Amino acid sequence: MLKKFIVNLKEKSYPIIIGYKLFNKDYILKYFKEKKKYIVITNNTLLNLWKNYFHKYLKKNNIFIDIISISDGESYKSLAQVNDIITKLLIKDYGRDSILIAFGGGVIGDLTGFIASIYQRGIEFIQIPTTLLSQVDASVGGKTGVNHNLGKNMIGSFWQPKYVIIDLFFLSSLPQKEFLSGFAEVIKYAIIFDKKFFCWIENNVHKLKNLDKNTLSYCVQRCCELKTKIVLLDEKEKNCRALLNLGHTYGHAIESHMNYKNLLHGEAVSIGIVLALETSKIIGILKKDVYQRIILLLKCFNLPVMPPKNIPLSSYILYMKKDKKNILGKIRLVLPSNIGIVKIYNNISPKIILSAIKKTLIKKH
């Protein structure tokens, strides 16, 4: 099952390793051979679940590690948490020869990568993603950052990891709701780039939901391959990398309004994809049968397809106007016209956006 490929960014190139129970194998040791200090940043839940697998493996093989554990949740992806972790690093005199290890989901990965990018003007870090969403998306590509009260991921940097080590075994401990939420990003990739992959997902729903190792391995690999291709074309999101934000402009607005509580990121992305589909229908670029086919696949993974009813329509526009992709104050949206065909639109009016939200709120999917 072991798979490896390189994200070829010249001097910033790094490998992505995908396998099962990697921390039971000697193979992985070569990625920790350097005589440096490794600091694992994780959350309390993961520390308790995996200390006898991941942390014990490193210590048993005489790899020095320190552990910084934080509380679990999107609300901890903040500047206050950044300051707290940097203070701990400074108290222990960790220098530029230290390597941070992001051991967790998207929150831990984004937070750790951001700290690595600014601590003493930049140190190395390793991504070891433990959620499906982070394995297929967040751990690859070098986007790092933290949230602000007025918007998600508004403070951040591009800082590529040293390695990405994806162990599918970590998925076994995920609550089902969190595991399934990761498929919003999987489906997103298929909608943007690969109709054949979309069909493959449709044909493998049962195996994917039941954590079939070989099926999941291909799924994760394909998403990583698709993301790698776009990152190589546009590492710092100057143009085509913005396509990866399908569903995210609406989704981030929902998350920001809800103060990053009561809704998982993947669930917000799923709702955002549905709102993007509705927008495409309103402007006449998406057929009804394609719309329904995508909705059906989202529902197959128990993903939400209805926006929360308690968000004022004005709140959507407020947060969407602060989106990082906007140019000259215009809201930019990634919209599909078919499976495998998407485009960035710079001139979708707030009136159409609000109409899409209203129409979705009254639908019975």
12 is catalytic: no
Amino acid of residue 22:
L
34 is catalytic: no
238 is catalytic: no
User: Which uninterrupted H or E stretch holds 273?
Assistant: helix 265-282
**Catalytic member of 77, 162, 265, 325:** 265
222 is catalytic: no
Whether 42 and 112 have beta carbons less than 8 Å apart is answered as: no
Tokens of 315: 């709140």
- 102 alpha carbon, distance to own chain's centre: 13
**Catalytic member of 152, 162, 188, 241:** 241
332 is catalytic: no
| Angle at alpha carbon of residue 144, lines to 141 and 149, rounded to 5° | 140
Tell me the C-alpha distance between 138 and 132, whole Å.
9
**Catalytic member of 178, 188, 245, 325:** 245
Whether 305 and 365 have beta carbons less than 8 Å apart is answered as: yes
Whether 64 and 38 have beta carbons less than 8 Å apart is answered as: yes
Query: How many separate helices (H) and strands (E) can be counted in the chain?
Result: 15, 11
**Catalytic member of 121, 238, 309, 364:** 121
**Catalytic member of 55, 77, 248, 325:** 248
Tokens 């991504």, residue located: 127
**Catalytic member of 74, 237, 255, 267:** 237
Tell me the C-alpha distance between 230 and 9, whole Å.
12
**Catalytic member of 74, 124, 178, 185:** 185
**Catalytic member of 37, 77, 143, 222:** 143
Tokens of 231: 């990152």
Whether 347 and 332 have beta carbons less than 8 Å apart is answered as: no
257 is catalytic: no
252 is catalytic: yes
321 is catalytic: no
**Catalytic member of 252, 267, 278, 325:** 252
Residues annotated as catalytic are 121, 143, 185, 227, 237, 241, 245, 248, 252, 265
